Amino acid sequence: MEDERRAAVVADLVGSFEAYVAEHRVCDGLAGRIVEVTENGARWGVAWVECSDCDVHWERRLAV
């Protein structure tokens, strides 16, 4: 059950991430990443996208 929940969280992050990347795919200033971090004993999936050309910064954190 835990693996299914984790997979759903990761899929949600990837979907959100892909939407922002698609909007800025042609921008030279595009950067982004999806990582898993542990903070204060809790595990989080973190996705972020930055586009220095458009001054966009997006970040999303979900507990995994």
User: Residue 39 has what pLDDT?
Assistant: 92
Question: 10 Å Cβ neighbour count for 52?
Answer: 12
User: Residue 26 has what pLDDT?
Assistant: 93
pLDDT at 1 over 70: no
pLDDT tens figures, 10-48 = 899 999 999 989 989 999 999 999 999 999 999 999 999
Cα 59 from chain centroid (whole Å): 6
> Which residues constitute the domain of residue 35?
2-63
User: Residue 11 has what pLDDT?
Assistant: 92
Count: domains in the chain: 1
Mean pLDDT score, 45-62: 93
User: Residue 27 has what pLDDT?
Assistant: 92
